[in-house]
Every structure is written in C-alpha cells, then in structure tokens.
Amino acid sequence: MKGETNLKIIKGDGEVVNVNKNLYEVLKNLPAPLKKMNLTNDQKYWYKYFGQQLIDSRKLTKPDLIHLHRLATSVDYYIQAEKEIRKQGFHGGLIQTFKGGATNVSGYVTIREKMIKDIDELSKHFGFSFKDRSKIQEPSKGDEGQTNLFEQFLKAKHG
C-alpha cells in the first residue's frame, strides 16, 4: 500500500513474516473465532465477513481479533434490535408505554443506539469508513533544508 513500509521479522523457527509498524505479525489467514467467545452462527458470519476483508487488506493482527469478535457481536445485536423495532412498530418497537401512560424510547432503540456507537468506534479502529481511510496518508518528508541529526551523528561517529 502507498506510504506503508513492508516490515518483516524472523520468528524463532526461522519463518519470515510481515509485521505492522508495531511489530505485530500480519495474519495471512483468518483464524476460527475463539470458542470461549461463544459466537452464534450469525455472529460467526459477521466475524468471517469482516475478518476476510481485513485479511485481504493485510491489516489484521492477533491483537485485533478481540475487536473483530466485538464487531461481529455488535453487528448481530444491532440487526436483532432493528428486526424487533420493525416487528413491533412505533408503539412497542420505538416507544415504550408504561401502565400510567408515560412513554419513553424502547429498550430496542437503546440497544440499537449503543450498537451503532460500538460499530462506529470499531469501524474507526479498522479504518472501514471512507473518512477514516482518507486520514491514512503517506508521511510528509519534512523540510529538506532541515538537517538530519541522526545522519550527522553517524557521520561524526564513523568519520
């Protein structure tokens, strides 16, 4: 990708692997979801859906997997809340009416809003939105008239 440095490290067994700027190994294949996360079939679908996009973009690392599990769960809960809102309609789906006649937004709306916020946060983490991708730019070269202290140090040391 433009502006990205292709870093590699040698693992203990001699395997050369690509790493990101934080030296985390970039995964070549999407691992199965962690069993301890107990993902439903729908959540596994979203895990694979978003995970494969990240594998294809060569941006997924092991530490990202917990965020991928969270994204899969949040998308599933968002869809469930939307289905329930549509099923129950305005009264019951969007608005909850209490016995005394008072109204409030339903729990489904609250869940939906929380999941949208979570999905937006995770989308930024993974750079899924156009806005987030546009922020990723090649670093500027800086002022070419400015001296490089590191180069001067090396010249002085090695004469």
Q: What is the average per-residue pLDDT within 60-87?
A: 96
Under the banding of pLDDT at 50, 70 and 90, the label for residue 58 is confident
pLDDT tens digits for 10-30?
Answer: 666 666 777 777 667 788 999
Task: Examine the pLDDT at 139 and tell me if it is beyond 50.
Answer: no
- φ/ψ of 149, rounded to 5, equals -65, -35
pLDDT tens digits for 150-159?
Answer: 566 666 666 5
* List of residues 6+ apart from 102 with CB closer than 8 A: none
Helix intervals (H) in the chain: 41-56, 65-88, 107-126, 130-135, 149-158
Supply the pTM of this predicted model.
Answer: 0.72
* List of residues 6+ apart from 110 with CB closer than 8 A: none
φ/ψ bin of 7: left (φ > 0), alpha (ψ from -120 to 50), beta (otherwise): beta
The single-letter code of the amino acid at 43 is: Q
Distance between CA atoms of residues 125 and 123, nearest Å = 5
Q: What is the pLDDT of residue 129?
A: 75
The single-letter code of the amino acid at 64 is: D
Q: Residue 158: which of 150, 14, 140 has the closest Cα?
A: 150
